[in-house]
A = this chain, B = another copy of it.
Amino acid sequence: MSDTKDPTAIFMPSGKRGQVPAGTSVLDAARQLGVDLDSVCGGRGICSKCQVTPSYGSFSKHGLTVEPDALSEWNAVEARYAEKRGLLKSRRLGCQAKILRDVVIDVPEESQVHRQVVRKRAEARQIVLDPATRLYYVEVDQPDMHEPSGDLDRLERALAEQWGLLHVKGDLRTVQMLQPALRRGNWAVTCAVYHGDSLGEARIMHVWPGFYEGGIYGIAIDLGSTTIAGHLCDLATGEVLASSGLMNPQIRFGEDLMSRVSYSMMNPGGAAEMTRVVREAINMLISQAAAEARIAPELIFEAVIVANPVMHHLLLGIDPVELGQAPFALATAASMVLWATEIDLKMHSDARIYILPCIAGHVGADAAAVALSEAPNQSDDLVLVVDVGTNAEILLGDRNGVLACSSPTGPAFEGAQISAGQRAAPGAIEHVEIDPDTREPRFKVIGCDLWSDEPGFAAATRQTGITGICGSGIIEVIAEMRMAGLLDPSGLIGGAEATGSARCVADGRTHAYLLHEPADGRGRRVMVTQGDVRAIQLAKSALYAGARLLMDQLGVDTVDRVVLAGAFGAHISPKHAMVLGMIPDCDIAKVTSAGNAAGTGARIALLNSAARREVETLVTRIHKVETAIEPRFQEHFVAANAIPHATDPFPLLRQAVPLPDVSFGASNRGGEPRRRRRG
Give CA–CA (A464, B454) in the complex, Å. Answer: 101
A343 and B172 form a contact (CB under 8 A): yes
Q: Out of B144, B151, B316, which one reaches A332, CB within 8 Å?
A: B151
User: Residues of B contacting A172 with CB < 8 Å?
Assistant: 316-317, 336, 338, 342-343
Other-chain residue from B169, B338, B358 in contact with A150 (beta carbon distance below 8 A): B358
Residue ID in chain B nearest A151 by CB atoms = B331
Among A198-206, A502-510, A536-544, A636-644, the stretch that binds chain B is A198-206
A334 to B168 CA separation, bound complex (whole angstroms): 13
Q: Which of A135-184 contact B (CB under 8 A)?
A: 142-146, 148-153, 167, 169-170, 172, 175-176, 178-180
Chain A 313-356 interface 0/1 with B at a Cβ cutoff of 8 Å (1 = within):
00011110010001111111110101000110000000000000
* Contact across chains for A331 and B175 when beta carbons are under 8 A apart: yes
Are B626 and A153 within 8 A (Cβ)?
no
Tell whether, in the assembled complex, residue B361 and residue A626 are in contact, meaning their CB atoms are under 8 Å apart.
no
A: interface residue count bin:
35 or more
Q: A172-B338, A201-B198 are in contact. Are A146 and B626 (CB under 8 A)?
A: yes
Flag whether A624 is at the interface (Cβ < 8 A). yes
- Quick check: is A360 within 8 A (CB to CB) of the other chain? yes
Q: Which residues of B contact A200 (CB under 8 A)?
A: 199
- Minimum distance in angstroms from A320 CB to a CB of chain B: 10
Contact with B along A93-105 (1 / 0, CB 8 A): 0000000000000
Quote the shortest CB–CB distance from A38 to chain B (angstroms). Answer: 28
Cβ of A594 under 8 Å from chain B: no
Q: A148-B360, A199-B167, A199-B201 are in contact. Are A178 and B331 (CB under 8 A)?
A: yes
Q: Please tell me if A118 contacts chain B, counting CB pairs below 8 Å.
A: no
Q: Specify which chain B residues have a CB less than 8 angstroms from the CB of A198 in the assembled complex.
A: 167, 169, 201
Q: Which residue of B lies closest to A317 (CB)?
A: B176
Q: Is the pair A148, B624 in contact by a Cβ cutoff of 8 Å?
A: yes
Q: Do B329 and A175 touch (CB < 8 A)? A: no
Interface residues in A620-640 by Cβ distance below 8 A to B read 624, 626, 629
**CB–CB A145/B626 < 8 A:** yes
Contact B332 A150 (CB under 8 A): yes
Residues in chain B near residue A148, CB distance under 8 A: 328, 330, 333, 359-361, 624
Cβ contact within 8 Å between A326 and B145: yes
Cβ–Cβ contact A329 & B143, under 8 A: yes
Question: Given A201-B198, A626-B145 in contact, is the A316-B175 Cβ separation under 8 Å?
Answer: yes
B150 and A334 contact, CB distance less than 8 A:
yes
Q: For residue A327, which residues in chain B have a CB less than 8 angstroms away from its CB?
A: 142-145
Cβ contact within 8 Å between B149 and A318: no
Rounded to whole Å, the gap between the CB of A353 and the closest CB of chain B is: 10
Known: A144-B327, A145-B327, A629-B145. A332 touches B199 (CB 8 A): no
Q: How far is the CA of A331 from the CA of B149 in the complex (A)?
A: 9
Contact B176 A318 (CB under 8 A): yes
- In the complex formed, the residue of B with least CB distance to A198 is B201
Q: Mark A359-375, 1 if CB is under 8 A from B, else 0.
A: 11100000000000000
Residues of B within 8 A of A342 (CB): 172
Q: What's the nearest-Cβ distance from chain B to residue A149, in Å?
A: 5
Nearest CB to that of A329 among chain B residues? B143
Chain A residues 515 to 542 lying within 8 A of chain B, measured CB to CB, are: none
Within 8 Å by CB of A176, from B149, B176, B316, B322, lies B316
Known: A152-B334, A332-B151. A318 touches B145 (CB 8 A): no
A624 (CB) vs chain B CBs: closest residue: B148
Chain B residue with minimal CB distance to A199?
B199
Residues of chain B with a CB closer than 8 A to A330's CB: 143, 148-151
**What is the chain B residue whose CB lies nearest that of A167?**
B199
CB distance from A319 to the nearest CB of B (A): 7
Contact B201 A153 (CB under 8 A): no
Q: Is the CB of B201 within 8 A of A332?
A: no
Bound Cα distance from A332 to B180, whole angstroms: 13
Q: How many Å lie between the Cα of A672 and that of B629 in the bound state?
A: 98
Give complex CA distance A200, B172 in Å.
20
Contact residues in B for A142 (Cβ distance below 8 Å)? 327
Contacts of A331 in B (CB 8 A): 150-152, 175-176, 178-179
26 chain-A/chain-B pairs, Cβ below 8 angstroms? A143-B329, A144-B327, A145-B326, A145-B327, A145-B328, A145-B360, A145-B361, A145-B626, A145-B629, A148-B328, A148-B333, A148-B361, A149-B330, A149-B333, A150-B332, A150-B334, A153-B332, A153-B333, A172-B343, A175-B331, A176-B316, A176-B317, A178-B331, A179-B319, A180-B319, A199-B199
Q: State the 5 A-B residue pairs at the shortest beta-carbon distance, nearest first.
A: A143-B329, A148-B360, A150-B333, A150-B332, A152-B332
Q: What 20 additional pairs, Cβ within 8 angstroms, besides A145-B328, A145-B629, A179-B318?
A: A142-B327, A143-B329, A143-B330, A145-B327, A148-B333, A149-B330, A149-B333, A150-B331, A151-B329, A151-B330, A152-B332, A167-B198, A169-B198, A172-B336, A175-B318, A176-B316, A179-B319, A179-B331, A180-B319, A199-B200
